[in-house]
Chain A
Amino acid sequence: MIETYDLTRRFGTFTAVSQVSLRVPDGAILALLGPNGAGKTTTIRMLSGLLAPTEGNATVAGYDIRREADAVRACVGLVTDVPGLFEQMKAPAYLDFFGSIYGLPSSERTLRIDELLEFFDLTTHRNEKMAGFSKGMKQKVALARALIHEPAILFLDEPTSGLDPLAARSVRELIVGFKRSNRSIILCTHDLDEAERLADQVAIIRQGHIVALDTPSSLRKQATGETLVQIELVDACPLPLEALATIDGVHDPHLREKKATGSLSTAAQSPGSILEYQTPQPKITNPQMLSRLIMAGAQIVTVTCETRSLEDVYASAMGDVGTSLADVRQQAMGDVGASLADSRQQALTDANRQNTVPSMLLKDN
């Protein structure tokens, strides 16, 4: 269990982390999302006993990070984006060094090292110096080092940074395994997909402030409220928009020209049109809309429903530059959903949205 209360860290006049309050139960993963310099690493350093907070406090596995920093360090494991190995050593000797510092008896160290090397598929490399390891292998050794003393708490600071996709997937599978073993995990990442897939809770941090904190699905729901529906028609829409707007639940219907797809043959075809609208209940609204269009003679090519991804939520949280930090914090603490929904509304009306936010052709989820 990790609990923080108004955790703040200043470096001179610069506030790296400001009044961060979080709670990560046992067996849960919290993803800290934010750009470089947002305060993710500083937060983790405070929680792992590497940096004293300027204000506020936290407990990690029941230990006070101010008064019981040694006890905190004994029960946490930390992995950073840089493996930080003594590369002239061999993996077993390296793990043995850290096992000794944690006070593991020699026989148990040997057992534990063998288990970890097997677990991380490094047994065949046990007699090689780590200098020759790939980045993925080094990161595995770093993970093994963090687990040598069976920590109850894990702090993973961009653990998949710089890894190839397969190695990154392996590390993600491991993180899920750690969670199953009832560890509390804080995962710092830039990777929104990673956060969405792994985390039970996501905290979006900006300039040291938590600007959004909830489950990934709740964040998406709070941010969207409505689904964007796009109906691609062969020709022009046979019904006036005013008529379509009368369908219950259809908001802001509008037409736009279908863009050429790039090939000359396609571009030469009739441009057709795309009907777009938003609805809070696509399962009820869409059948009505489609039957009306079909009855009016429309030829429908595709229907897509676009719900907001965590990326959109993140972009909303990060892009609200007009709002003062105090306002952002107020929103985060008071009504995260409202602020994100507002931000999304603003984003939807942005004429350049299609160019700036990747279009997600998702089924209604």
Chain B
Amino acid sequence: MNTDTQSDITRITYKKASTIHITWLIARRQMLEAIRDRSTLMMSGMFLIIQTVLVLISVGPALQDHTVVGLQRAGFLMAFYLLFVGLMPATPAIGIASGVFAGDKERGCLTPLLVTPASNTAILAGKVLGAILPALAYAGIGILIYFAEIALLFGPDKLALLPVGLSILIVLLIPGIVLFGTALASVISSRVGTFQAAQNFSSLILVVLWIGLYGLLFLQTILGLWAFALAVAGVYMIAILFIAFSAITWRREEVMARQ
């Protein structure tokens, strides 16, 4: 080890990086960590297999009924599964989000980041964004594979059976739910003492979210598409307000204050 050269190390002048730049750096780092997480990849892969099986055993028989009512039912079933296949691959990523602070803290990876001059907003936003983006990617991949499976297994024309309005709203709802669930899990992770606690809370939230979603889907059959559209907009609003509120109120000192 060359200790003599220490005093010769180049003296550097530098300026503080912008919050947006630091946010992106942290988010990119967080995304790579999430994508490299083997358990997430395995879970997401497993859900894709489950999804294929579901399509075969549920949608397939439904498509055999060629009556108008039968095809409408098949279309609604395909839309119903759209929500399922969009959210299932994203669920492990939402679980991973519960570790962005608490997990890193337990591994000792959080302290080096907190001791940098990065602002509280940049750290929280970067971590949350880094958790959200992979989950959104998994959801998108899940939806694309679902459409591809229907097209390949039953023919591309069957995609036309999907009720357009409902399907669009579901496709819009999925990122909103992923945004909300991931942000909530990340923020919980930043405000609890242990990874275990963060996971417990996140699991509870996921269960409530799933129940809420299917309740919402059921209610739209009673209240109509406009009510569903309002609910989708509400989910986005809540998610954005929640993230903004968390970014404003989060303090790194609170993380270290939890022993």
Contact = CB atoms under 8 A, between A and B. Distances in A.
A105 B12 CA distance: 10
A203 to B, nearest CB: 21
B132 to A, nearest CB: 19
B159 to A, nearest CB: 39
Nearest to B24: A100
A70 interface: yes
Nearest to A78: B115
Interface stretch (B48-56, B105-113, B164-172): B105-113
B212 interface: no
Interface stretch (B82-90, B184-192, B219-227, B249-257): B249-257
A104 B25 CA distance: 13
B190 to A, nearest CB: 14
A145 interface: yes
Given A73-B116, A101-B118, A121-B1, A180 B6 contact: yes
Contacts of A5: none
Interface string B218-259: 000000000000000000000000000000000011001101
Interface of A: 11, 45, 48-52, 70-71, 73-74, 76, 78, 80, 82-86, 88, 97-98, 100-105, 108, 111-112, 115-116, 118-121, 142, 145-147, 149-150, 170, 173-174, 176-178, 180-181
Contacts of B66: none
A70 B115 CA distance: 9
Contact of B10 (A45, A112, A173): A112
Contacts of B9: 112, 115-116, 119, 147, 150, 181
B108 to A, nearest CB: 3
A118 B10 CA distance: 13
Contacts of B17: 100-103
Contacts of B119: 70
A155 to B, nearest CB: 9
A86 B130 CA distance: 15
Nearest to A182: B7
B253 A181 contact: no
B1 A80 contact: no
Interface residues of B, number: 41
Given A83-B108, A97-B29, A100-B22, 13 more contacts: A50-B253, A52-B253, A70-B117, A71-B117, A78-B112, A78-B115, A84-B112, A98-B116, A104-B12, A115-B5, A115-B10, A119-B1, A149-B14
A83 B3 CA distance: 20
Nearest to A155: B115
Contacts of A180: 6-7
Contact of B29 (A82, A84, A86, A173): A86
Contacts of A142: 112
Contacts of B149: none
30 contacts: A50-B111, A50-B114, A50-B115, A50-B252, A51-B257, A70-B16, A70-B117, A70-B119, A71-B117, A78-B111, A82-B107, A84-B109, A84-B111, A86-B29, A98-B116, A100-B21, A101-B26, A104-B12, A115-B5, A115-B9, A119-B1, A119-B6, A120-B1, A145-B112, A149-B14, A150-B9, A150-B11, A174-B6, A177-B7, A181-B6
